[in-house]
């Protein structure tokens, strides 16, 4: 458990501000390195088969490697500036990968949307880093943590209003995490990111970009523990997000978007775990989630690849006989996502809910209730997807069914490895490494230690302890009742609750609201500036000068007649004028 800290080179040295390019490996970094490298390697291997017919697969592999590199820069940093380089690099790489098929307009738009939405959050992170540098005179984690007691009561004034330094740092930093990890309000880029190739979705959602926000909160847990306001905000946002995203997922018809919203929901679980100071449990769920979420995306990619890129689950059905390997692996991923024993999701998700219950705060109770409802919805949409894709009568065209094929070895082997992780990573994390206890020797002070001990977790009331798995099983049962035999029940519910159904189907109209409040407003303002300033002033002044020069040249051009007598006359008049001027003046 020794910490490895290598300062490779001095990067910046300006006044009190110094930054080194470093490699810092403690227990938290080690977990992230394992998750990132394992999942990234398997996604690279899977991409060999998935992208084999693409003419630009070399460029795709280069982007995937760049993505992984920047994530490794992010997690191995010992200071916030190096982390910010990795943070922005991950954002750039996601832009390149989401818009990989740039000739497809929807993909190009999705890439721009992801880039812009993340910039909103990144402004918050940049401001928090600036505030940390001004307050602590350093941006190295360990030096900041040492000075926390001294800076706890410090305030600064802005427009005559006093703000707590620590609260401001934590809230601004969390805004950055909200953007990168797609929490409610800054989540709108995540479902659109499905426009990229499926391996990209697996890498973004399982091990790299969206986990960066959770990692940052865990890495700076010592800072966040000084701000009760920030912790409560994280708990509320995380709890709302986990239910909000799960409710949208139950009506989505794009196979990748169902899984995308499940990622958004699971990230909500991780954040409210951090909000109740259960950082080790949040990282544990991040690890288990990486395996089963990558498995689900790669399984979905296998299905899409087999049926000529069709993604609408309403047009599928009956694939369990045609794609038996993908079917089995999707079952494993869905059981882990639903939190069913003995799969990995059971261990980590349950511990998050138990930690929220034991926090003994109203915010923790709120998160627990939201998490239980979200657990039911998670199981429901997971089995809705399984039933509509693999069961029921197939709605695929005959020529597709006749030519259908399961995943080749290059795609199947990575999915097998991920399935093993989705089954056993829960046991490994909880019983072998004791990852669920922040005070265990495994973490070696890389996380703030404030959560309840494991002993207290095991003393929970029977109903509370088993409520998550009961909710999961109940969700599976409801999905089976509604979708397994006939569509009449589903049609009846969607018609009976048409208003709610439309809200969920349209994702609570977040895109429309943002278009109305921001996009349309900015378009109108920019149109005014274009007409008044751009056309009239910026373009107008050069145009006026050009017209003046043109008119002067047109007048002077009249003197250029080409007749020598005219030139002689002009010379005589000029000479006469000069002589008169000399004589009289």
User: Could you report the per-residue pLDDT of 421-449, keeping only the tens digit for each?
Assistant: 999 988 887 776 666 666 667 888 888 87
The full 3-state SS of 563-580, as one line of letters, equals CHHHHHHHHHHHHHHHHH
Specify the pLDDT at position 122. 94
Identify whether residues 458 and 558 lie together within a single domain: no
Identify whether residues 402 and 524 lie together within a single domain: no
Specify the pLDDT at position 455. 45
Within 10 angstroms of residue 31's Cβ, the number of other Cβ atoms is 24
Could you give the number of structural domains in the chain? 2
Identify whether residues 261 and 244 lie together within a single domain: yes
Write the CA distances from 143 to 15, 45, 89, 136, 172, integer angstroms.
17, 40, 25, 8, 20
Rg of the chain on CA atoms, in Å: 30
Contact 319, 303 (CB under 8 A): yes
Identify whether residues 382 and 531 lie together within a single domain: no
Looking at 455, 482, 505, which one is the last position of a domain? 505
Identify whether residues 285 and 248 lie together within a single domain: yes
DSSP string, 130-154: HHHHHHHS--BHHHHHHTHHHHTT-
Identify whether residues 61 and 152 lie together within a single domain: yes
Q: Exposure string (b/e) for 115-130, b if CB count within 10 Å is 16 or more? A: bebbeebbebbbbbbe
Write the CA distances from 452 to 325, 357, 432, integer angstroms.
42, 10, 19
Report d(CA 536, CA 332) in Å as an integer. Answer: 64
Identify whether residues 496 and 545 lie together within a single domain: no
Report d(CA 119, CA 394) in Å as an integer. Answer: 43
Specify the pLDDT at position 151. 54
Identify whether residues 394 and 518 lie together within a single domain: no
The per-residue pLDDT for range 538-554, each reduced to its tens digit, is 888 888 888 898 888 87
**Distance between first and last Cα of the chain:** 98
Identify whether residues 288 and 164 lie together within a single domain: yes
Looking at 505, 540, 575, which one is the last position of a domain? 505
DSSP string, 474-494: HHHHHHHHHHSS-SHHHHHHH
Specify the pLDDT at position 373. 95
CA angle 524, 529, 533 (to 5 degrees): 165
Report d(CA 112, CA 110) in Å as an integer. Answer: 5
Specify the pLDDT at position 452. 47
Report d(CA 87, CA 74) in Å as an integer. Answer: 6
Write the CA distances from 505 to 1, 10, 501, 546, integer angstroms.
48, 52, 6, 56
Q: Taking the CA atoms of 552, 558, 564 and 566 in sequence, report the sign of the dihedral they define.
A: negative
Report d(CA 231, CA 503) in Å as an integer. Answer: 30
For 243, half-sphere exposure in the C-beta direction (CA atoms, 13 angstrom radius) is: 14
Report phi then psi at 158, rounded to 5.
-140, 120
Looking at 455, 470, 505, which one is the last position of a domain? 505
Instruction: Name all contacts of 54-61 with Cβ < 8 Å and 24+ positions apart.
Output: 54/197, 56/100, 59/100, 60/97, 60/100, 60/197
Identify whether residues 184 and 155 lie together within a single domain: yes
Report d(CA 140, CA 20) in Å as an integer. Answer: 9
The full 3-state SS of 81-127, as one line of letters, equals HHHHHHHHHHHHHHHHHHCCCCCCHHHHHHHHHHHHHHHHHHHHHHH
Specify the pLDDT at position 438. 65
Within 10 angstroms of residue 441's Cβ, the number of other Cβ atoms is 11
Identify whether residues 497 and 528 lie together within a single domain: no
Structural domain including 547 reads 513-584
Identify whether residues 122 and 266 lie together within a single domain: yes
Within 10 angstroms of residue 4's Cβ, the number of other Cβ atoms is 11
Contact 187, 508 (CB under 8 A): no
Question: Residue 387: which residues within 8 A CB-CB, separation 6 or more?
Answer: 479, 480, 483, 484
Specify the pLDDT at position 436. 65
Beta bridge partners of 156: 163
Report phi then psi at 341, rounded to 5.
-65, 140
Contact 257, 504 (CB under 8 A): no
Low-confidence spans in the chain with pLDDT less than 70: 1, 150-153, 432-440, 450-458, 486-487, 559
């Amino acid at each position: 458990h020794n910490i490895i800290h290598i300062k490779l080179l001095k990067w910046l040295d300006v006044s009190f501000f110094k930054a080194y390019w470093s490699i810092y490996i403690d227990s938290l970094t080690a977990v992230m390195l394992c998750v990132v490298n394992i999942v990234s390697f398997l996604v690279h291997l899977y991409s060999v088969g998935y992208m084999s017919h693409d003419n630009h697969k070399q460029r795709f592999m280069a982007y995937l490697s760049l993505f992984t590199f920047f994530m490794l820069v992010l997690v191995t940093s010992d200071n916030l500036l190096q982390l910010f380089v990795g943070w922005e690099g991950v954002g750039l790489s996601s832009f390149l990968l989401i818009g990989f098929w740039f000739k497809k307009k929807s993909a190009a738009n999705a890439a721009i949307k992801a880039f812009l939405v993340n910039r909103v959050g990144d402004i918050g992170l940049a401001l928090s880093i600036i505030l940390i540098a001004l307050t602590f005179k350093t941006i190295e984690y360990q030096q900041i943590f040492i000075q926390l007691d001294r800076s706890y009561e410090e305030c600064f004034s802005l427009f005559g209003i006093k703000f707590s330094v620590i609260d401001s740092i934590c809230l601004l930093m969390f805004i950055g995490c909200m953007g990168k990890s797609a929490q409610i309000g800054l989540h709108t880029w995540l479902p659109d990111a499905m426009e990229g190739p499926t391996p990209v979705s697996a890498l973004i959602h399982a091990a790299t970009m969206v986990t960066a926000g959770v990692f940052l909160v865990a890495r700076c847990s010592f800072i966040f523990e000084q701000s009760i306001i920030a912790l409560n905000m994280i708990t509320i946002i995380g709890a709302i997000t986990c239910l909000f995203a799960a409710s949208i997922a139950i009506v989505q018809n794009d196979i990748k978007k169902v899984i995308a919203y499940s990622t958004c929901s699971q990230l909500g679980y991780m954040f409210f775990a951090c909000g109740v100071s259960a950082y080790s449990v949040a990282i544990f769920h991040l690890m288990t989630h990486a395996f089963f979420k990558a498995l689900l995306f790669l399984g979905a990619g296998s299905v899409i690849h087999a049926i000529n890129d069709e993604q609408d689950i309403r047009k599928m059905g009956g694939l369990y006989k045609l794609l038996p390997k993908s079917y089995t692996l999707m079952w494993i991923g869905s059981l882990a996502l639903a939190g069913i024993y003995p799969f990995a999701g059971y261990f980590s998700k349950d511990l998050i809910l138990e930690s929220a219950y034991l926090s003994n705060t109203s915010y923790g109770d709120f998160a627990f209730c939201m998490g239980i409802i979200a657990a039911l919805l998670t199981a429901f949409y997971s089995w809705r997807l399984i039933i509509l894709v693999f069961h029921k009568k197939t709605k695929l065209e005959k020529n597709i069914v006749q030519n259908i094929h399961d995943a080749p070895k290059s795609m199947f082997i990575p999915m097998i490895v991920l399935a093993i992780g989705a089954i056993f990573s829960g046991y490994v994390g909880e019983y072998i490494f004791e990852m669920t206890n922040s005070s265990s020797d495994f973490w070696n002070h890389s996380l703030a230690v404030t959560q309840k001990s494991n002993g207290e977790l095991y003393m929970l009331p029977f109903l509370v302890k088993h409520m998550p798995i009961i909710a999961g099983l109940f969700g599976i049962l409801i999905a089976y009742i509604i979708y397994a035999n006939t569509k009449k029940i589903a049609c009846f519910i969607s018609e009976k609750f048409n208003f709610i159904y439309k809200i969920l189907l349209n994702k609570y109209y977040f895109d429309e609201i943002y278009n109305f409040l921001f996009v349309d407003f900015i378009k109108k303002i920019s149109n005014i500036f274009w007409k008044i300033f751009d056309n009239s002033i910026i373009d107008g002044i050069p145009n006026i000068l050009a017209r003046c020069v043109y008119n002067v040249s047109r007048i002077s051009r009249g003197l250029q007649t080409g007749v020598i007598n005219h030139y002689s006359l002009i010379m005589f008049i000029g000479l006469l004028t000069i002589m008169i001027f000399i004589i009289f003046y």
